[in-house]
Amino acid sequence: MTANLKALHEKVSHHLQAIYADVVLDRPVGELATALMQTMRIDNDDDIIAPQSHCNYWDEGDVVMITYGDSITDGHEKPLFTLHRFLNTYCVNTINNVHILPFFPYSSDDGFSVIDYSSVNESLGEWEDISGLAEEYGLMVDLVVNHCSSRSAWFENFIKGEGTGSDFFFTASPDDDLSMVTRPRVSPLLRETQTSEGTKYVWCTFSHDQVDFDFRNPKVLLAFMEIIRLYIDKGAKIFRMDAVAFLWKIVGTTCINLEQTHEIIRLMRTLIEHVDPRIIIITETNIPNRENLTYFGNANEAHAIYNFSLPPLLVNTLVTGDCRYLKSWMMSMPPAQSGTTYFNFIASHDGIGLRPAEGLLADEEISSLVHAMQHFGGKVSWRASAHGQQKPYEINITLFDALQGTIAGPDRFQVDRFICAHAIMLAMEGIPGVYIHSLLGTSNDYEKVANTGQNRSINRKRWDLSELEALLDSPFSQHHKVLTRLSQLIRIRKAQPAFHPNATQFTLQLGNQVFGFWRQSLDRQQSLFSISNISDKEQSVLLSDINLFGTDHWMDLITREPIDNDENYLQLKPYQTVWISNLDPS
């Protein structure tokens, strides 16, 4: 074994020793490390690409579109091909990365109950379609690592007691003390299952169709490293670690955010970055903000973490006309060190999560927000608290309808308020993710909710391409207005060095009706002020509060209007955002 391979082998072994310290293994750790490296095809020096620490493999030009493989359909072709055509037609010079939500055969949860990790759902297309997209766009894929479908071959083998998967799943006893277990759902935790070896109680964090893996068995880890290698071969550049916080379970604990979970992420990163250092890991951990931040590790775990606190805080800001909570949160957020960054989003296939707002919004604020969203046609999904109480877990609503008004009710500023939300998000430190239904200005899909019986379906509309094209071509439709204005903002954003995901960010103090922050490019050449009126009344901002340097010429990049330093005030219309810059690189 060469020196480089030996060093990597020692590092992998160190990870494994930490993970399995309390587990009796059937083979030495060194043999398991060798098996993992072989699975990832890191067998000789030619296979090793040494990663550089604290290297940013992203810049201001990176924007991710989040979509299902069949969010847009045309009856004459496979949906993945239709998606590719849509991107090439309507997202030119805006979107350069695409997150295709689970595109595998599945049994429930719109893809997150995976039957077979190694194949593409034939109703969407095939691996050739995935690889074709990966040739033109950075491909982000889900690693549904906590659980799989109860209809998978692995779980069928568990029931039979033989074959691959027969020992892959976590079981417990109804007599165990499970009172501390953190739950995102109100369904019973244990699923009674009849097997060839008698009755077993399978752990189900999310639903009884989503059976949890037992990572105490190294075979599970090996199986997932094989899956990761397959996805890399098919063109994956970003891995989204779904529900990863629940990965490791120890009866008698909360079974969330355990140290073994963090160590498994560190191990996966070590192996992945030695195949291709440019591949990015993003952890999907829908948990309170302080816990979420721990997934950065010491720049040796996730490259990026979902900024889960942003959606509820930003929606609350815009429906109340008060940014104090958003401002306090932004001031408390640590800058991401080089080699890490935030993944910013304000809408996704799921709802507006409320757990990440705990400790940031008062209970009364959350209750008020929930009430307002219900008034706008939203649904509420619940979870069980540690004391057995039901608490709101997420609000299910499209972002477009969530911003149709204020706590006083709907008004005429829906589109402006919606664009304001994205202008704030696009300007923030981090990589922006834009949900396809935000890009299209999609409204609540009540028909789909009625058909599926699932609240989350409200924000998972499936568009017919011809219908969508007619709406996008109509200058009077909300869809045309939203796509046009968002595309303009994204194109401007991509040209600004001050919007690099790791560029300096500083929160401004401009009162509670105006939300502002300053960004400075890494080379310190560009200063950029993002200032938004988050209320339904015109606001004035003292230019002296912004501190525009008199030696520079300033311009609002959105309106292309110069900023006159001799003026005392900056006038902002309701929900207007200005991006004031001393440079215009666009």
Cα–Cα dist 262/248, whole Å: 9
* Cα gap 470→71, rounded to integer Å: 16
Residue 388 has a pLDDT of 66
Catalytic residue from among 74, 242, 401, 556: 242
CA distance 205 to 203: 6
The residue with tokens 């060469």 is 2
> What is residue 584's predicted lDDT score, i.e. its pLDDT?
77
293: helix, strand or coil: helix
pLDDT value of residue 183: 85
Sheet holding 554-556, edge to edge: 504-507, 514-520, 527-533, 577-581, 554-556, 562-563
pLDDT of residue 180: 94
Task: Tell me how far CA of residue 130 lies from CA of 141, 245, 394, in angstroms.
Answer: 10, 27, 31
Residue ranges of the chain whose pLDDT lies below 50: none
Binding site as annotated, residues for substrate: 109, 147, 240-242, 349-350, 456
The SS3 call for residue 548 is: coil
pLDDT of residue 167: 97
Q: Is the dihedral of CA 245, 462, 67, 114 positive or negative?
A: positive
Distances (CA, A) of 149 to 157, 208, 213: 12, 9, 11
Could you report how far apart the first and last alpha carbons of the chain are, in Å? 51
R_g of the chain computed on alpha carbons = 24
Largest CA distance in the chain: 82
pTM of the predicted model, to two decimals?
0.95
Quickly tell me which residue has 């006893």 as its tokens.
173
Tell me if residue 74 is catalytic: no
- Determine contact, residues 42/271, Cβ cutoff 8 Å: yes
Tell me what pLDDT residue 397 has.
97
Closest CA to 325 of 358, 351, 295: 358
- Residue 386 is predicted with a pLDDT of 61
Binding residues: 109, 147, 240-242, 349-350, 456
Per-residue pLDDT, 385 = 66
Q: What is the Cα–Cα distance from 161 to 295, expressed in whole angstroms?
A: 36
Domain boundaries, the chain: 504-581
pLDDT of residue 586: 65
Q: Which fold has domain 504-581?
A: Immunoglobulin-like (2.60.40)
d(CA 342, CA 332): 14
Quick one: pLDDT at residue 11? 96
**Angle at the Cα of 494 from the Cα atoms of 489 and 495, rounded to 5 degrees:** 105
